[in-house]
Structure 1
Amino acid sequence: MTGFVVWVDFRLRPGARERFRHLVDANANASMRSETGCRRFDVTQARDEPDRVLLYEIYDSEAAFEHHCRTAHFEEFNSRSAQLVDTKLVTICDLVLEASS
């Protein structure tokens, strides 16, 4: 199975995690609910780094990800969360194996 994977590593401003999580969780839920090309959207928090949130997203294709970046829920998340973020690192990968049990 193939797929387009996006890892996003956010380093937040101190004290911003609760507000950021509200915004990113809404974006993730809307993506899974309304985007047919979005297969997975996980939001994770680093255990010993309270100001670090990482996303793991899988899309059917790069075009599906590009569609995601044009949705109203992404644009709202992106604009409203910008002031909460110190740094953002995006890593693009190709999914080469989606293991199952």
Structure 2
Amino acid sequence: MFAVTVTFTLKPGVREVFLPLMIENAASSLRNEPGCRQFDVCVGDESQTVFLYEVYDDAASFEAHLESAHFKSFDTAVADMIANKTVVLFSEVIR
């Protein structure tokens, strides 16, 4: 298991445009990427904060996500809407 968290801080006034694009990206990932197991889109108390929780089979599955056409299209479409983006990667600890 490979987990990814992403915290976006959006520029003022773009949330209503950003969220439908983000939700479609998440749905496309779940629908079209065999290694994508979970893709949650969450909003914060502050209207500028959007948090993602993604789970993939492994790091290679996440890399495939980053190379997918739907992700590249999303990334280009929202680039000017983002004030800050923090990505954190987690590998499962095997017991």
TM bucket, shorter chain: over 0.9
TM-score scaled by length of structure 1:
0.90
Instruction: Look up the equivalent residue of 2:23 and give its one-letter code.
Output: D
**Structure 1 segments of 4+ aligned residues over 2 angstroms from their partners:** none
Alignment of 1:1-101 (within 5 A): 3-46=1-44, 48-96=45-93
Give how far 1:22 is off.
Answer: 1.1
Give how far 1:96 is off.
Answer: 3.9
- How big is each residue's C-alpha offset from its partner over 1:34-77, in whole Å with a ceiling of 9 and x where there is no partner? 1000000000001x211100000000000000000011100011
Number of residue pairs matched by the alignment: 94
Q: Secondary structure at the match of 1:69?
A: helix
Choose between structure 1 and 2: higher helix proportion.
2
State the Cα RMSD in Å.
1.1
Q: Secondary structure at the match of 2:13?
A: coil
Gaps of at least 5 residues in structure 1 are: none
Gaps of at least 5 residues in structure 2 are: none
Give, in whole Å, the separation in 2 of the partners of 1:82 and 1:95: 30
